Amino acid sequence: MGAARDRVIDRDGFDRLIALLGELGYRTIGPVVRDGSIMHGEVSGTEDLPAGWHDIQAPGRYRLVHEGDGELFGWAVGPASWKSEFFKPTETLWRASLRDGAVAIDVPPREERPVAIVGARPCELTALDILDRVLAGGAVPDDRYAARRAGALIIAVECGRPAATCFCTSMGTGPGAEDGFDLALTELVGVDHRFYVRVGSTAGGELLERVDSRAAIEADWESRRTVVEGARARMGRTMETDGLAALLARNLEHPRWDDVAERCLSCGNCTLVCPTCFCADVKDVSEVDGTLERTRTWASCFDVDHSYLHGGPVRPTIATRYRQWLTHKLSTWWDQFDTSGCVGCGRCIAWCPVGIDITEEAAAIRGTDGAAAEVEPR
């Protein structure tokens, strides 16, 4: 049985919730259909959400199909992740003007409106938690990121229809939402269309009190459990995580790296869609009139210049760059941040143009642990 303060709302209640967020001054972002995908956009009500849309995902494949049902969250994840709301794809860090040997440095003011997220998946909650550690948990935290995160309100929605590319159960990040949310909804479709609501914070509780809801009863809890356990049972993929970090650390010379390099285009799509990738370029740009700008822009370890040191890149081949990405995500992330970097969202699998599957690559190395390519006696 759920918590005593679990409630149930209907679609009207959900509408009211979203409208309230706008009234409270939040910039409310939710899933919308755009360019044939589930993307993120401003929403003012449930009519903006992807009602009746379902996704079909596979390595290198993503399709949306529309069915007549009114299910709002009958899909897994799209290419967009919530990291772009807190860790901007590009950001001006400061501007300065150089005049007569003097420098005046100006830091742009922070945005005014906090962000409210409607429809964050459980895997994405973990991804944001991981990013909190990376960007705000160190000795020198990114203050702007931390402020945006602190001011945000998150309404999570649990998964009922995992995609074939999902493996959150292997990574311990879903399909149920544990924490990191203000409210967690589970969409229940059947005789009626309602949402099981769990409160995750004081702010979430206060928000919920302002919409019509009823107390959740045993049957509601059972329905929620059915959705979440059903999703768990239908999970599309698995990743064996037992000893995975150490496995990869001792297989840096495995022939699989050359094998995947023959397929990998080093395009960096995986890093773009990954909800935890955080690499960024910090660059100074100057104008003719003496104004300077320092910006921070998303970067990818697949870029050949990413590891540039005087002379050339440290990782000059696709094999070495793919190895960096995979070993960082599944192995050295633990050394650096005491957590895995992967949440099992499967985006990298779907959005890789050649369909490279992170779970398959890890399994292949596990299957031939210790393989080496070099010496061969006749």
Q: How many residues bind another protein (CB under 8 A)?
A: 62
According to CB under 8 A, which one of 19, 24, 93, 267 is a site residue for another protein? Answer: 93
Q: By C-beta, is 39 or 292 nearer to another protein?
A: 292
Q: How many alpha carbons fall within 13 Å on the CB side of residue 307? A: 14
According to CB under 8 A, which one of 6, 48, 55, 142 is a site residue for another protein? Answer: 142
- Binding window for another protein (CB under 8 A); candidates: 117-125, 221-229, 290-298, 356-364: 290-298
Q: By C-beta, is 34 or 110 nearer to another protein?
A: 110
Residue type at 204 in one-letter notation? G
Burial class (CB in 10 A: 0-12, 13-18, 19+), 109: exposed
What Cα–Cα distance (Å) separates residue 45 from each residue in 109, 199, 227? 30, 20, 24
Q: Does 373 bind another protein (CB under 8 A)?
A: yes
Q: Does 144 bind another protein (CB under 8 A)?
A: yes
Q: Does 364 bind another protein (CB under 8 A)?
A: no
Q: Does 89 bind another protein (CB under 8 A)?
A: no
Q: Does 265 bind another protein (CB under 8 A)?
A: no
Q: Does 104 bind another protein (CB under 8 A)?
A: yes
Phi-psi region of 180 (alpha: psi -120 to 50; beta: other; left: phi over 0): left
Give every CB contact of residue 92 below 8 A, 6+ residues apart in sequence.
Answer: 108, 293, 294, 295
Q: Does 371 bind another protein (CB under 8 A)?
A: no
Residue with tokens 């590891």: 307
Cα 211 to Cα 12: distance, rounded to the nearest angstrom? 9
Q: Does 237 bind another protein (CB under 8 A)?
A: no
Q: Does 149 bind another protein (CB under 8 A)?
A: no
Q: Does 335 bind another protein (CB under 8 A)?
A: yes
Q: By C-beta, is 68 or 109 nearer to another protein?
A: 109
According to CB under 8 A, which one of 256, 306, 329, 347 is a site residue for another protein? Answer: 306
- Binding window for another protein (CB under 8 A); candidates: 76-84, 148-156, 197-205, 280-288: 280-288
Q: Does 69 bind another protein (CB under 8 A)?
A: no
∠ Cα 234 236 237 (to 5°): 125
According to CB under 8 A, which one of 43, 77, 123, 135 is a site residue for another protein? Answer: 135
Q: Does 107 bind another protein (CB under 8 A)?
A: yes
Pairing mode of beta strands 308-309, 102-106: unpaired
- Binding window for another protein (CB under 8 A); candidates: 12-20, 22-30, 137-145, 357-365: 137-145
Burial class (CB in 10 A: 0-12, 13-18, 19+), 201: middle
Q: Does 299 bind another protein (CB under 8 A)?
A: yes
DSSP 24-87: TT-EEEEEEEETTEEEEEE-SSGGGS-TTEEEEEETTEEEEEE-SS--SS-S---S--THHHHS
Q: Does 326 bind another protein (CB under 8 A)?
A: no
According to CB under 8 A, which one of 98, 189, 203, 363 is a site residue for another protein? Answer: 98
Cα 193 to Cα 11: distance, rounded to the nearest angstrom? 7
Q: Does 374 bind another protein (CB under 8 A)?
A: yes
Residue type at 35 in one-letter notation? D
In 3D, which of 147, 138, 137 has the Cα closest to residue 112? 147
Cα 128 to Cα 136: distance, rounded to the nearest angstrom? 11
Cα 140 to Cα 225: distance, rounded to the nearest angstrom? 41
Which positions lie near another protein, rule CB under 8 A? Answer: 93-94, 96, 98, 101-107, 109-110, 134-135, 138-144, 252, 278-284, 286, 290, 292, 294, 296, 299, 301, 306-317, 320, 324, 327-328, 332, 335-336, 373-378
